[in-house]
Amino acid sequence: MTQDVLISVRGLKTAFGTHVIHENLDLDIRRGEILGLVGGSGTGKTVLMNTILGLNQEVEGDIELNGRRFSQMGREERRHVNARWGVLFQNGALFTSLTVLENVMAPLREHVSMPLELMEEIAGMKIGLAGLPPEAADKFPSELSGGMRKRAALARALALDPEILFLDEPTAGLDPIGAAKFDSLILELSQALGLTVLMITHDLDSLHAICDRVAVLADKRVEAVAPIEALMRNPHPWIQEYFHGPRGRAALAGKES
């Protein structure tokens, strides 16, 4: 992993009406890293991700990609940037009326002009890359287990060969074995494809297993960002409670065993 900053957020303020979610928030996402994002309920983890994605409008501040401000990009340039980003939303957000193959093809249809047969071939490759068997391609989301739906959503996020993956609670709802397998898949894909990953999660096992650094949202900003070993020494009360509470101790014991 290099120390190059891929995405830089400076002085960010987000709000819904008079309700301020973030204020004076700074965050760097380094190229090639898996960055975990944690915080208490209501701290705006998904709001921050969606603001970086351009789905929410910031009130103040700058967001840069490779040193270029999003605010200076035209519509077509920003559309090109968004096409290079893969997103796995909470609960997968698959189109229920489409098969897995059709779901994975959806980004290709929107952003790329190519023959249908080639789209199907690429989508089939992404389905395999996400760890699904070929027969899953013709199934509808309702016919899949929770873990398979996550993998189908991941295949769709990989459809356009993204530079960065945004994952919102990717292991939520999975049993411990399924969550560990999904973590291993994300780590393997990151290493094999050179992906940068921003992962919102509450899963302490995931933080210990695959994250290079962890950013903590508290008090409307990123209170700390560091490798987990260093973060656990941070005196902030929420950080101490989160990482040294019963679940934190169990996750640490599992890593050391």
Confidence (pTM): 0.90
Query: With bands split at pLDDT 50, 70 and 90, how would you rate the model's confidence at 245?
Result: confident
User: pLDDT of 209-232, one tens digit each?
Assistant: 999 999 999 999 999 999 999 999
The answer to whether 108 and 152 are in contact (CB under 8 A) is: no
Q: How far is CA 69 from CA 48, 100, 112, 163, 179, in A?
A: 16, 35, 25, 17, 36
pLDDT of residue 146 exceeding 50:
yes
Report whether pLDDT(184) > 70: yes
Considering only 35-39, 87-91, 107-111, 247-251, which range has the smallest mean pLDDT? 247-251
**Contacts for 188-194 with beta carbons within 8 Å, 24 or more apart?**
189/129, 189/158, 189/165, 190/32, 190/34, 190/165, 193/161, 194/32
pLDDT in tens, 61-72: 999 998 888 888
**Which of the pair, 84 or 251, is modelled with greater confidence?**
84
Two structure tokens written together for 86: 């893969």
DSSP 183-210: HHHHHHHHHHHT-EEEEE---HHHHHHH
Q: Say yes or no to pLDDT of 1 above 50.
A: no
How confident is the model at residue 2, as a pLDDT?
A: 43
Euclidean distance between CA atoms 95 and 103, whole angstroms: 6
Model confidence at 197: pLDDT above 60:
yes
Q: For the chain, what is the mean pLDDT?
A: 91
The mean pLDDT of 8-19, rounded to a whole number, is 95
How many whole angstroms separate alpha carbon 205 and alpha carbon 211? 10
Measure the CA–CA gap between 5 and 14, rounded to whole angstroms: 22
For residue range 70-104, list pLDDT tens digits in order. 888 888 888 888 888 999 988 778 999 999 999 99
Looking at residue 240, its pLDDT comes to 92
